[in-house]
Amino acid sequence: MPLVTMRQLLDEASKGGYGVGAFNVNNLEQIQAIMEAAQETNSPVIIQASRGARKYANDRFLYHLMEAATEIYPDIPLVLHQDHGNSPETCKSAIDLGFTSVMMDGSLQEDGKTPGDFEYNVQVTREVVEMAHEHGVTVEGELGTLGGIEDGVGSGEVNLTDPDQAVEFVERTGVDALAVAIGTSHGAYKFTKEPDREVLAMHIIEEINKRLPNTHLVMHGSSSVPKELVDIINEYGGKIEPTWGVPVKEIQEGVKHGVRKINVDTDLRLASTGAIRKALAEDPAEFDPRSYNKPARAAMQAVVKARMEAFGQAGHAGDYEKMSLQDMADRYSKEGHELATS
């Protein structure tokens, strides 16, 4: 099955009442781990690449790895998503490359660090929506800012999403999906104790979902930072301080209230790093990269499988009849015409 649009996946997830994990990648082993977990659980999947990942892997390498994934796993609906696009130019380059979904993160200015004001966010996001929808490509926007820095992206400030602004933002931009700031954070060091629904401001998701029931909501910074993964790293020479991530049970509550895309990155990094440290410590004479990349891949696959089952996407790979980008572009054009004449 060729790459599909994220809008199609999220529409089906909405019908089925489940969420879809969006997993960040930088290399071959991560893609293999995600796709093996998707096949094992019969799940649709979103694979996403940040600007840093695109630079690290090189766009052409990354795209052809994704093409290989569609060939090897033809029954798995697969989205390639640009994570945290910092400008319309970045989103355009992703669309030109073949990404089927892009995020325009206008909550931050082009430097990826300075908060952008509401009007700036509306302007750049609307520009990307108009450009992307002409090609049938899905657009995710963001309103509010998360704590933490990941892959060089983030202001370090927490500005929770205002539900009133969320309604205006969606109406003025036409985004397909909205990332909301509810107190989650990028990176491993999210919380100093296990957060509850008040710390995570889950009421914001519930309120936005009431007002925007047809807009797919997105939770960023949603790795759970499992203690057992941190313990493996530290047992074999690492120095990760005690930290808590987002409990899976809270993500599941979000799914009940319109969250359809859940971003997971840190958990895969922790799983891979722990497995590599363990393999090298147990056999210090080994120097074949396969000796530590194979357990790293298996550790990531186990995490992805667990998240796919927890988010509810397992078993839903067969829900989809492929829509081409042109089909989706025609749909967007028709929707726009109907709005203009109503």
pLDDT digits (tens, 9 = 90+) for 261-294: 999 999 999 999 999 999 999 999 999 999 999 9
Phi, psi (deg, nearest 5) at residue 106: -85, 5
The pLDDT, as a whole number, for residue 153 is 57
Catalytic annotation, pick one of 11, 59, 75, 83: 83
Structure letter (DSSP) for residue 76: S
The pLDDT, as a whole number, for residue 244 is 87
Give the Cα separation of 138 and 104 in Å (integer): 11
Closest CA to 56 of 186, 155, 151, 188: 151
The pLDDT, as a whole number, for residue 191 is 78
Mean pLDDT over 191-204 rounds to 80
Residue 77 corresponds to which tokens in the numbers above? 């609906």
pLDDT at position 162 over 90: yes
Q: Is 56 exposed, middle or buried (0-12, 13-18, 19+ CB in 10 A)?
A: middle
pLDDT at position 338 over 80: no
Closest CA to 205 of 171, 242, 163: 163
- Of the ranges 59-68, 139-148, 314-323, which one carries the lowest mean pLDDT score? 139-148
The pLDDT, as a whole number, for residue 237 is 97
3-state secondary structure 52-67: HHHHHHCHHHHHHHHH
Between residues 193 and 133, the one the model is more confident about: 133
Domains of the chain: 6-224+241-272+304-326 (3.20.20.70)
Within 13 Å and on the Cβ side, how many CA atoms surround 210?
8
Q: Which residue has the tokens 């991560």?
A: 30
pLDDT at position 196 over 80: no
Strands 101-104 and 78-85: parallel
> Please, which residues bridge with residue 102 across strands?
82, 139
The pLDDT, as a whole number, for residue 149 is 54
Closest CA to 231 of 274, 261, 199: 274
Q: Are 43 and 315 in contact (CB under 8 A)?
A: yes
pLDDT grade for 201, boundaries at 50, 70 and 90? confident
The pLDDT, as a whole number, for residue 342 is 44
pLDDT grade for 145, boundaries at 50, 70 and 90? confident
288 is catalytic: no
- Of the ranges 46-55, 123-132, 315-324, which one carries the lowest mean pLDDT score? 315-324
Element (H, E) at 141: strand 138-143
Closest CA to 141 of 111, 169, 182: 169
Structure letter (DSSP) for residue 317: G
Q: Are 79 and 3 in contact (CB under 8 A)?
A: yes
For residue 253, the SS3 value is: helix
Mean pLDDT over 34-53 rounds to 97
Percent of the chain exceeding pLDDT 90 equals: 80
For residue 81, the SS3 value is: strand
Give the Cα separation of 221 and 150 in Å (integer): 9
The pLDDT, as a whole number, for residue 24 is 97
Mean pLDDT over 56-76 rounds to 96
Residue 224 corresponds to which tokens in the numbers above? 């759970």
